[in-house]
Protein backbone atom coordinates (compact mmCIF):
# COMPACT_ATOMS: atom_id res chain seq x y z
CA UNK A 1 0.00 0.00 0.00
CA UNK A 2 2.85 2.33 -0.80
CA UNK A 3 1.28 3.82 -3.93
CA UNK A 4 0.01 7.41 -3.93
CA UNK A 5 -3.61 7.73 -2.88
CA UNK A 6 -6.14 7.90 -5.69
CA UNK A 7 -8.29 10.99 -5.04
CA UNK A 8 -11.35 9.74 -6.94
CA UNK A 9 -14.29 11.39 -5.11
CA UNK A 10 -16.71 8.82 -6.56
CA UNK A 11 -14.81 5.75 -5.35
CA UNK A 12 -17.31 3.43 -3.71
CA UNK A 13 -20.50 5.00 -5.01
CA UNK A 14 -22.46 5.40 -8.22
CA UNK A 15 -24.36 8.53 -9.16
CA UNK A 16 -27.77 6.86 -9.61
CA UNK A 17 -28.69 3.81 -7.58
CA UNK A 18 -31.99 2.18 -8.66
CA UNK A 19 -35.06 3.00 -6.58
CA UNK A 20 -36.76 -0.38 -7.10
CA UNK A 21 -35.48 -2.78 -4.44
CA UNK A 22 -35.73 -6.58 -4.53
CA UNK A 23 -34.30 -7.17 -1.06
CA UNK A 24 -33.44 -5.07 1.97
CA UNK A 25 -31.74 -6.03 5.22
CA UNK A 26 -30.87 -4.20 8.42
CA UNK A 27 -27.62 -5.46 9.90
CA UNK A 28 -26.14 -4.92 13.36
CA UNK A 29 -22.60 -5.65 14.52
CA UNK A 30 -20.11 -4.99 17.31
CA UNK A 31 -17.03 -4.18 15.21
CA UNK A 32 -15.95 -0.79 13.92
CA UNK A 33 -17.08 0.26 10.47
CA UNK A 34 -13.43 0.30 9.42
CA UNK A 35 -12.97 -3.34 10.43
CA UNK A 36 -16.25 -4.30 8.77
CA UNK A 37 -15.44 -2.54 5.49
CA UNK A 38 -11.90 -3.91 5.29
CA UNK A 39 -13.26 -7.40 5.97
CA UNK A 40 -16.01 -6.95 3.38
CA UNK A 41 -13.59 -5.95 0.62
CA UNK A 42 -11.30 -8.86 1.45
CA UNK A 43 -14.23 -11.34 1.48
CA UNK A 44 -15.55 -10.06 -1.84
CA UNK A 45 -12.16 -10.59 -3.47
CA UNK A 46 -12.14 -14.16 -2.13
CA UNK A 47 -15.73 -14.69 -3.36
CA UNK A 48 -14.72 -13.51 -6.80
CA UNK A 49 -11.86 -15.99 -6.89
CA UNK A 50 -14.13 -18.91 -5.93
CA UNK A 51 -16.41 -21.23 -7.87
CA UNK A 52 -19.52 -22.39 -5.98
CA UNK A 53 -21.72 -25.39 -6.76
CA UNK A 54 -25.33 -24.78 -7.72
CA UNK A 55 -28.23 -26.76 -9.17
CA UNK A 56 -29.48 -25.24 -12.41
CA UNK A 57 -32.72 -25.76 -14.28
CA UNK A 58 -32.81 -25.27 -18.03
CA UNK A 59 -35.83 -25.00 -20.30
CA UNK A 60 -34.82 -27.95 -22.50
CA UNK A 61 -34.10 -30.35 -19.60
CA UNK A 62 -36.38 -31.87 -16.98
CA UNK A 63 -35.20 -31.42 -13.41
CA UNK A 64 -31.97 -29.87 -12.22
CA UNK A 65 -28.40 -30.15 -13.48
CA UNK A 66 -25.21 -29.81 -11.50
CA UNK A 67 -23.54 -26.53 -12.22
CA UNK A 68 -21.35 -23.81 -10.87
CA UNK A 69 -21.61 -20.08 -10.28
CA UNK A 70 -18.77 -17.56 -10.37
CA UNK A 71 -19.04 -14.03 -9.05
CA UNK A 72 -17.52 -10.96 -10.62
CA UNK A 73 -17.63 -8.07 -8.17
CA UNK A 74 -17.42 -4.39 -9.01
CA UNK A 75 -16.88 -1.34 -6.80
CA UNK A 76 -18.95 1.75 -7.58
CA UNK A 77 -17.29 4.65 -9.35
CA UNK A 78 -19.64 7.42 -10.54
CA UNK A 79 -21.43 5.97 -13.59
CA UNK A 80 -20.06 2.42 -13.48
CA UNK A 81 -18.17 -0.21 -11.53
CA UNK A 82 -14.47 -1.00 -11.34
CA UNK A 83 -13.77 -4.75 -11.24
CA UNK A 84 -12.50 -5.83 -7.83
CA UNK A 85 -9.03 -7.29 -8.21
CA UNK A 86 -5.94 -7.06 -6.01
CA UNK A 87 -5.08 -3.53 -7.15
CA UNK A 88 -8.69 -2.32 -6.69
CA UNK A 89 -8.77 -3.92 -3.22
CA UNK A 90 -5.57 -2.01 -2.41
CA UNK A 91 -7.09 1.22 -3.75
CA UNK A 92 -10.23 0.83 -1.62
CA UNK A 93 -8.27 -0.08 1.52
CA UNK A 94 -5.93 2.91 1.05
CA UNK A 95 -8.98 5.17 0.69
CA UNK A 96 -10.42 3.83 3.99
CA UNK A 97 -7.11 4.40 5.79
CA UNK A 98 -6.58 7.90 4.36
CA UNK A 99 -10.12 9.32 4.42
CA UNK A 100 -12.02 7.10 6.84
CA UNK A 101 -14.87 4.72 6.25
CA UNK A 102 -17.40 4.89 3.45
CA UNK A 103 -20.82 6.19 4.43
CA UNK A 104 -22.22 4.48 1.34
CA UNK A 105 -20.67 1.62 -0.62
CA UNK A 106 -22.16 0.51 -3.94
CA UNK A 107 -21.23 -2.88 -5.38
CA UNK A 108 -22.18 -4.91 -8.44
CA UNK A 109 -22.33 -8.69 -8.62
CA UNK A 110 -22.28 -10.45 -11.98
CA UNK A 111 -23.19 -14.12 -11.50
CA UNK A 112 -21.90 -16.39 -14.25
CA UNK A 113 -23.44 -19.87 -14.37
CA UNK A 114 -22.10 -22.99 -16.05
CA UNK A 115 -23.56 -26.49 -16.41
CA UNK A 116 -20.97 -29.12 -15.43
CA UNK A 117 -22.19 -31.98 -17.64
CA UNK A 118 -22.18 -30.26 -21.00
CA UNK A 119 -20.52 -27.36 -22.74
CA UNK A 120 -23.41 -26.86 -25.18
CA UNK A 121 -25.73 -25.16 -22.67
CA UNK A 122 -25.47 -21.41 -22.37
CA UNK A 123 -26.95 -20.19 -19.10
CA UNK A 124 -28.11 -16.58 -18.70
CA UNK A 125 -26.27 -14.46 -16.16
CA UNK A 126 -27.69 -12.48 -13.28
CA UNK A 127 -26.59 -9.00 -12.28
CA UNK A 128 -27.24 -7.50 -8.87
CA UNK A 129 -26.50 -4.01 -7.60
CA UNK A 130 -26.14 -3.54 -3.86
CA UNK A 131 -25.84 -0.47 -1.67
CA UNK A 132 -24.58 -0.55 1.88
CA UNK A 133 -25.16 2.51 4.05
CA UNK A 134 -23.27 2.59 7.32
CA UNK A 135 -23.94 4.03 10.75
CA UNK A 136 -22.13 3.14 13.96
CA UNK A 137 -22.82 -0.53 14.67
CA UNK A 138 -25.39 -0.95 11.92
CA UNK A 139 -25.77 -0.99 8.18
CA UNK A 140 -28.60 -1.10 5.69
CA UNK A 141 -28.12 -3.44 2.72
CA UNK A 142 -30.20 -2.71 -0.38
CA UNK A 143 -30.34 -5.16 -3.29
CA UNK A 144 -31.56 -4.49 -6.83
CA UNK A 145 -31.74 -7.30 -9.42
CA UNK A 146 -30.73 -5.59 -12.65
CA UNK A 147 -30.98 -8.44 -15.15
CA UNK A 148 -31.23 -12.19 -15.53
CA UNK A 149 -33.56 -14.92 -14.26
CA UNK A 150 -32.83 -14.63 -10.51
CA UNK A 151 -31.34 -18.12 -10.39
CA UNK A 152 -30.04 -16.94 -7.03
CA UNK A 153 -32.82 -15.13 -5.18
CA UNK A 154 -32.14 -11.57 -3.91
CA UNK A 155 -32.69 -12.77 -0.33
CA UNK A 156 -30.13 -15.53 -0.93
CA UNK A 157 -27.63 -12.86 -2.05
CA UNK A 158 -28.10 -11.18 1.35
CA UNK A 159 -27.58 -14.49 3.16
CA UNK A 160 -24.49 -15.31 1.08
CA UNK A 161 -22.89 -11.95 1.86
CA UNK A 162 -23.59 -12.43 5.58
CA UNK A 163 -22.26 -15.99 5.50
CA UNK A 164 -18.89 -15.06 3.98
CA UNK A 165 -18.53 -11.96 6.18
CA UNK A 166 -19.36 -13.83 9.38
CA UNK A 167 -16.92 -16.64 8.55
CA UNK A 168 -14.12 -14.10 8.11
CA UNK A 169 -15.04 -12.09 11.20
CA UNK A 170 -15.17 -15.24 13.34
CA UNK A 171 -11.79 -16.39 12.02
CA UNK A 172 -10.34 -13.07 13.22
CA UNK A 173 -11.94 -13.38 16.67
CA UNK A 174 -14.77 -10.88 16.14
CA UNK A 175 -18.49 -11.35 16.69
CA UNK A 176 -20.94 -12.08 13.90
CA UNK A 177 -23.11 -9.65 12.01
CA UNK A 178 -26.76 -10.16 12.92
CA UNK A 179 -29.66 -9.57 10.56
CA UNK A 180 -32.14 -7.45 12.46
CA UNK A 181 -34.70 -7.33 9.67
CA UNK A 182 -34.93 -8.63 6.11
CA UNK A 183 -37.47 -8.13 3.32
CA UNK A 184 -37.56 -9.58 -0.17
CA UNK A 185 -39.83 -8.32 -2.93
Higher pLDDT, 93 or 121: 93
What is the percent of the chain with per-residue pLDDT over 90, rounded to a whole number?
Answer: 78
| Domain boundaries defined on the chain | 23-184
What distance in Å separates the CA atoms of residue 144 and residue 22, rounded to the nearest whole number? 5
**CA dihedral (73, 14, 95, 34) positive or negative:** negative
For range 127-148, the mean pLDDT: 97
The CA-atom distances, in angstroms, between 40 and each of 35, 132, 167 are: 8, 11, 11
Answer whether residue 3 shows pLDDT above 70.
no
Q: Which residues contact 182 (CB under 8 A, 6 or more apart)?
A: 23, 24, 25, 26, 155, 158
Question: What is the model's pLDDT at position 6?
Answer: 57
> Which band of pLDDT confidence, cut at 50, 70 and 90, is reported for residue 13?
very high
Average pLDDT over residues 174-179: 96
Pick the CATH number of 23-184 from 3.30.1490, 3.30.1690, 3.40.1710, 3.30.530: 3.30.530
pLDDT at residue 148 above 80?
A: yes
How many Å apart are CA 81 and CA 139, to the nearest integer? 21
Q: Average pLDDT of 140-169?
A: 95
Each residue of 57-115: pLDDT tens digit?
877 676 788 899 999 999 999 889 999 999 999 999 999 999 999 999 999 999 999 98
Per-residue model confidence (pLDDT) at position 116: 84
Does 37 score more than 70 pLDDT? yes
Mean pLDDT, all residues of the chain: 91
Continuous H helices in 32-175: 33-48, 86-99, 154-171
Amino acid sequence: MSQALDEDPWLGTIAKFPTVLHARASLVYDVTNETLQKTLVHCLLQLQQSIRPIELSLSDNAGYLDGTVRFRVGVGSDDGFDILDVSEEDRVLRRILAHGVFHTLDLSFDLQYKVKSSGKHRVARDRYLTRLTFQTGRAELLVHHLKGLKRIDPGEMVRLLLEIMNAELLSKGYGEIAMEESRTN
